[in-house]
Chains A and B, each alone.
Chain A
Amino acid sequence: MAALALVFGYIESLIPTGIPGVKLGLGNLVVLTAMYAVSVRGAAAVSAVKIFLGGLLFGSFAGLLYSLAGGAVSFLVMLALKKSGRFGLVGVSAAGGVVHNIAQLAVACAVLGGIKLAYMLPLLLISGLVTGIVVGFAAVPCISLAQRAGKGKK
């Protein structure tokens, strides 16, 4: 599972930037698939690798903080909502995307200083939401594929 996470993380780092939200989306798609189809521990491993690689990508300590804040918070929120059993896949994913962006903005406020960054909040809320919803729908086939693959092995 950890190897798989590394492969996904590597693929993710190869994706060219410039298409906003795609990176966050793919990362969360992998975490979400692992969470539903494999195990919470598997998803945590994927998350940890994703956070670490994300931090390397930014290439600085502040970058690692952004990556950590976004990744850890979105993982915990998605896990909590899934455990609650009240939300569907899309809801869990949308919440994960939104809190990912909020957490990164909070770190940015702390690092760059200044509440002015609140101007970014509506945009980040919407972009996290849209990405999360898309990921939620994309995760349905991914999860059934992963489950079938898992059964095949046994």
Chain B
Amino acid sequence: MKKKRLLADILLIAGVLIAAAVVWLLLPRGGGGAAAVVTVNGEHYASLPLSEDAELLIRSDDGGENLLVISGGKARVTESNCPTGVCVETGAVSSEGQLIVCLPHKVVIEIVG
């Protein structure tokens, strides 16, 4: 009984890992991007070229703050006061089409070619 459950657990975990890998492989990947475009609440906020190192504090409604850092041709959110932290967890992005999203702040950072 216990062994059966353990097997089911392992299968479930393996299934999720495979699904994640498949989605990751299916996503189209462009070449290196040229700029990071920041939108807040669907409105254009700023565009930063990836070729220049820079820092931008993105301020959104209700005191939301995300620190966007461009360095070495990559964009990443290093600090955020959002509750989930997924934007920071995303890490550095640099390929065309890649995104950093901060759901609570409605901030989307997209890499464009």
Contact = CB atoms under 8 A, between A and B. Distances in A.
A5 B108 CA distance: 34
Interface stretch (A31-39, A42-50, A90-98): A90-98
A66 B21 contact: no
A117 B61 CA distance: 21
A90 to B, nearest CB: 5
A63 B41 CA distance: 13
Interface in B66-113: 79-86, 88-90, 97-99, 101, 103-104, 106, 108, 110
- Determine the interface band of chain B, counting residues with CB < 8 A from chain A: 35 or more
A149 interface: no
Contacts of B17: 126, 129
Contacts of B86: 20, 120, 123-124, 127
Contact of B9 (A18, A57, A91, A119): A91
B99 A125 contact: no
A125 B20 contact: yes
- Determine the interface band of chain A, counting residues with CB < 8 A from chain B: 35 or more
B106 A112 contact: yes
B4 interface: yes
B17 to A, nearest CB: 7
Given A20-B89, A124-B86, A91 B42 contact: no
B46 interface: no
Interface string A1-37: 0000000000000000111110110000000000000
Contact of A98 (B8, B16, B83, B88): B16
B24 A88 contact: no
Interface of A: 17-21, 23-24, 54, 57-60, 62-63, 66, 86-88, 90-91, 94-95, 98, 104, 108, 111-113, 116-127, 129, 133
Given A94-B13, A111-B106, 17 more contacts: A17-B81, A17-B83, A24-B84, A60-B62, A87-B5, A88-B5, A90-B13, A95-B12, A98-B16, A118-B23, A119-B27, A119-B97, A123-B86, A126-B16, A126-B20, A129-B13, A129-B16
